[in-house]
Amino acid sequence: MKTYTNNQEITLKVNGEDYNVVVKPNETLLNVIREKIEMTGPKPGCENGDCGACTVLVNGTPIKSCMSLAVDMENKAITTVEGLKDTEIQEAFIDKEGYQCGYCTSGFIVKAYSLLDKYEKPDEDTVEEWLSSNLCRCTGYEGIERAVNKVIENR
Ligand code: FES
Ligand code: FES
């Protein structure tokens, strides 16, 4: 494992594009994506790993970008909600009204996308468990579940 003590220039691959950024050793991936790459899909919510609003994929695995250091993300494929434009799950969120204020939505779409990538037809318990990492203050989760179920039913 490399140890950084000073600002470091690194290359991050986000949604298939390379971005050269100078980061502090303790800077989170969330902060770098939002402030330096200027993609605002991942949201700062709790910033301590509880809410999932900041969820992105790293090499296909969902992670909470507020809990990850940017310096650890070189040579990894990062996907934000911006990279999931026009996917079935994004369209299902719109169709089934899986949002109200929308603050949690990008995190839920990324998490749901990874669920549906991993499982062809996940059962109810699996969906519930998978989405339990993310919090929503508005919807009561019903629209979110309808969106996920729409994609499952279409398979
Ligand atoms: S902002 Fe990252 S988990 Fe809440
Ligand atoms: S839609 Fe408002 S927090 Fe989820």
| Residue of 136, 141, 144, 145 best suited for mutating to test ligand 2, as the one with most atoms within 8 Å of CB | 136
88 Cβ inside 6 Å of ligand 1: no
Q: Whose CA is nearest to atom 4 of ligand 2?
A: 136
Summarised one tens digit per residue, pLDDT across range 109-146 is 999 999 999 999 999 999 999 999 999 999 999 999 99
SS3 of residue 59 by DSSP: coil
46 Cβ inside 6 Å of ligand 1: yes
Tokens describing residue 69: 């250091």
List alpha helices for 46-100, DSSP H.
88-95
pLDDT at 63 exceeding the cut of 90: yes
Of 17, 42, 18, the residue nearest 28 (C-alpha)? 42
93 Cβ inside 6 Å of ligand 2: no
pLDDT at 86 exceeding the cut of 90: yes
* Nearest atom within ligand 1 for CA of residue 44: 1
* Domains of the chain in sequence order: 8-80 (3.10.20.30), 83-153 (1.10.150.120)
